[in-house]
Amino acid sequence: MYPDNFRYTREHEWVLVEGDTGTLGITDHAQQSLGDIVYVDLPKVGVRVELGKSLGSVESVKAVSDIYAPLSGEVTEINKSLADAPEKLNQDPHGAAWLVKIHLSAPAEIHDLMSAADYQAYIGAEK
């Protein structure tokens, strides 16, 4: 369920680092808690995002939630398909419904994120 090559935040985002690029998304746990997702607001390409700061939001029938940057960097690509099909976030949050790609400015930040095992223990304890 939670890929081993991802790293996770306490706010339920994931990041996959390949070279100096990070791909970001929200976790399956996050989409389950949100319920039916109806809007996704993402930053524009070129925007600088900062660790722990809001980079956009996800909105479900019930509520709006901020998406926090798990790492710092500059947005290089956004997942445009989510604008017309936000429900993809409920279906494939760890795959087709990635949110943005960023060029990492401080790759060492990743050491503060959780492994898949730690994240699962974390959401288990949260319940």
Partner 1 sequence: MSAASALKSTPLNSIHRALGAKMVDFGGWDMPVQYTGIIDEHHAVRRAVGLFDVSHMGEIEIHGLEAAQLTDFVTTNAVHNMKTGQARYSGLLYPHGGFVDDILVHKVADDHYFLCVNASNQEKDFEHIHSLNRFDARVDFSSPRYAQLAIQGPKARDTVQKLTPVSLAAIRYYWFTDGEVCGVPARIAHTGYTGEDGFEIYAASSHAARIWNEVLQAGAEFGIKPCGLGARNTLRLEAGMALYGHEIDASTSPLEAGLEWIVKLDKGVFVGREALLRQNEKGVKRKLAGFEMRGRGIGRDGYEVFVNGSPAGWVTSGSPSPTLNRNIGFCYLPAELAQPGKAIQIMIRNQPVDAVTVETPFYKRAK
At residue 7, what is the residue type? R
Q: How many residues bind partner 1 (CB under 8 A)?
A: 13
Beta strands in 1-127 (DSSP E): 7-8, 13-18, 21-26, 37-41, 48-49, 54-60, 64-68, 73-78, 100-104
Binding residue for partner 1 (CB under 8 A) from 3, 5, 20, 64?
Answer: 64
Nearer to partner 1, 17 or 69 (CB): 69
Q: Which of 45, 46, 2, 47 is nearest to 25 (CA)?
A: 2
Distance CA 57, CA 104 (A): 21
51 binds partner 1 (CB under 8 A): no
121 binds partner 1 (CB under 8 A): no
92 binds partner 1 (CB under 8 A): no
Q: Give the nearest distance from C-beta 113 to partner 1 in angstroms.
A: 26
User: Under the rule (CB under 8 A), what is the footprint of partner 1?
Assistant: 32-33, 35-36, 38-39, 57, 59, 61-64, 90
